[in-house]
Amino acid sequence: MKYYSLNKKAPMVSFKEAVIKGIAPDRGLYFPEEIHPLPASFFDSLETLSNQEIAFRAIQQFVGDAIPEKVLSDILEDVLDFDFPVVPITDNIATLELFHGPTMAFKDVGARFMARCLGYFSNEKSAEITVLVATSGDTGGAVANGFLGVPGVKVVILYPSGKVSDIQEKQLTTLGKNITALEVDGTFDDCQEMVKSAFLDEKLTQKMQLTSANSINVARWLPQMFYFLFAYKHAKSLSKEIVFSVPSGNFGNICAGIMAQKLGMPCKHFIASTNVNDIVPNFMATGSYIPKASIATISNAMDVGDPSNFIRIRHLYKDNFEELSNNLSSYSFTDEETKEAMLALYNDFNYVADPHGAVGYLGLKKYLEQHPEYYGIFLETAHPVKFLEVVEDTIQENIEMPDSIAKLLNKKKKSILISNYQEVKDFLCE
């Protein structure tokens, strides 16, 4: 499988090169040259397959011969060693819980998959790879955990100071070894911009092999398709058509869901649910894409002012606005509305949602008001304990702290303060 740059000014590359480079030299995101739908029989018999088998069938064409089948299958066994339960909320609403992995957020699968691919590739060649990643909360911890101790790989995480939750911060600043956290005086967008500048900085790229572990990297982005297939496996026995509501920040997860649909997964519609960082809801309402500075919210992992992956979604629809609107709706919600939804989910259905899941629930409810015939699944992208203060304040209950998180809170944070790109560069050159 070959990948081209969406900016169309860079050579095509293999899966391996796309993973190692992260982003194309013309600053474009890599995109697979072809998408081959899977046979209807695959979807018809999904319930007879294990999660690992489903994942293998979904991703194999995108990896091609870059990784031998046996190695790929072992990687998936290892990556997908936890549950992805679909929990019913009402007769026509369920939630897909994606927080049962090591860092309790949906990023674990992509981060672990990419780390293992890079581990495999770095065995094949000796040069060290530096992974740069910008995080608004959850990616950082997942990448730190997924890449910890991977030989030949150094990880540098940029996060906005004071704008991630305490637990998220501990997850990305306490591991040490090959993981370093840069605490940026700015927003997530500043972090993402610094990472992108590093990729374009010839002085740096001549000196070291840099790659990205954000969902701009195909190995972080594509495995997120699995979630939708796992949910479909559970919901297909219901005789209703399915819609998904995805809490969205950088738009990698929902874009992967649309890829699963392109592979043939039956699904009627996607809802991109956002907080007040409403660039995409505005685009869907007006047709104009206008990035803006991100605003801090209680669903901080979605505080993104210029979502990287939306360009991939537009590309999937050949930039045809009408076709896109037929398959995607997008709504934004305030923190107040999010808290009300968390409270309603708790009081009415005894379900403790985190603020991101609550935004997903709100988007789904809004869409189902007009389309009550569908069965809706909203993604619960992070464990509520990661947002302890706001969740406990909102539902007025204590939530149980898993041991792994309690231990983490006693660990000492280690970060390097950064205020501009030059400081990032100086750090990388040291």
Ligand X SMILES: N[C@@H](CCOP(=O)(O)O)C(=O)O
Which of the stretches 75-83, 137-145, 331-339, 398-406 binds ligand X when contact is defined by CB under 6 A?
137-145
d(CA 363, CA 354): 15
d(CA 284, CA 421): 33
Half-sphere exposure of 309 (CA within 13 A, CB side): 23
One of 32, 119, 252, 281 touching ligand X (CB under 6 A): 252
Q: Closest Cα partner for 254 from 292, 186, 304, 204?
A: 304
d(CA 31, CA 216): 10
Report if residue 135 touches ligand X, rule: CB under 6 A.
yes
One of 250, 274, 299, 332 touching ligand X (CB under 6 A): 250
**CB of 154 within 8 A of CB of 387?**
no
Minimum CB separation of residue 333 from ligand X in Å reads: 16
The two beta strands, 93-97 and 375-380, are parallel
Report if residue 215 touches ligand X, rule: CB under 6 A.
yes
Report if residue 136 touches ligand X, rule: CB under 6 A.
yes
Minimum CB separation of residue 249 from ligand X in Å reads: 4
Report if residue 122 touches ligand X, rule: CB under 6 A.
no
Give 252 or 281: the residue with its C-beta nearer to ligand X: 252
Task: Kindly determine how many residues on this chain lie close enough to bind ligand X according to the rule CB under 6 A.
Answer: 14
Report if residue 5 touches ligand X, rule: CB under 6 A.
no
Which of the stretches 138-146, 282-290, 344-352, 398-406 binds ligand X when contact is defined by CB under 6 A?
138-146
d(CA 357, CA 97): 9
- 49 burial (CB, 10 Å; 0-12 / 13-18 / 19+) is middle
Report if residue 174 touches ligand X, rule: CB under 6 A.
no
Contact positions with ligand X (CB under 6 A) in 305-334: 308
Which of the stretches 82-90, 92-100, 130-138, 394-402 binds ligand X when contact is defined by CB under 6 A?
130-138
**CB of 216 within 8 A of CB of 344?**
no
Give 93 or 279: the residue with its C-beta nearer to ligand X: 279
Which of the stretches 35-43, 61-69, 129-137, 386-394 binds ligand X when contact is defined by CB under 6 A?
129-137
Minimum CB separation of residue 205 from ligand X in Å reads: 21
Which of the stretches 6-14, 42-50, 248-256, 319-327 binds ligand X when contact is defined by CB under 6 A?
248-256
Which of the stretches 136-144, 170-178, 346-354, 400-408 binds ligand X when contact is defined by CB under 6 A?
136-144
Measure Cα distances from 142 to 69, 103, 137, 148, 177 in Å. Answer: 25, 6, 10, 10, 15
Report if residue 248 touches ligand X, rule: CB under 6 A.
no
Contact positions with ligand X (CB under 6 A) in 32-61: none
Give 157 or 265: the residue with its C-beta nearer to ligand X: 157
Report if residue 22 touches ligand X, rule: CB under 6 A.
no
Residue carrying structure tokens 């979904």: 58
Minimum CB separation of residue 193 from ligand X in Å reads: 13
**CB of 170 within 8 A of CB of 160?**
no
Report if residue 211 touches ligand X, rule: CB under 6 A.
no
* Interface contacts to ligand X, rule CB under 6 A: 135-140, 214-215, 249-250, 252, 301, 304, 308
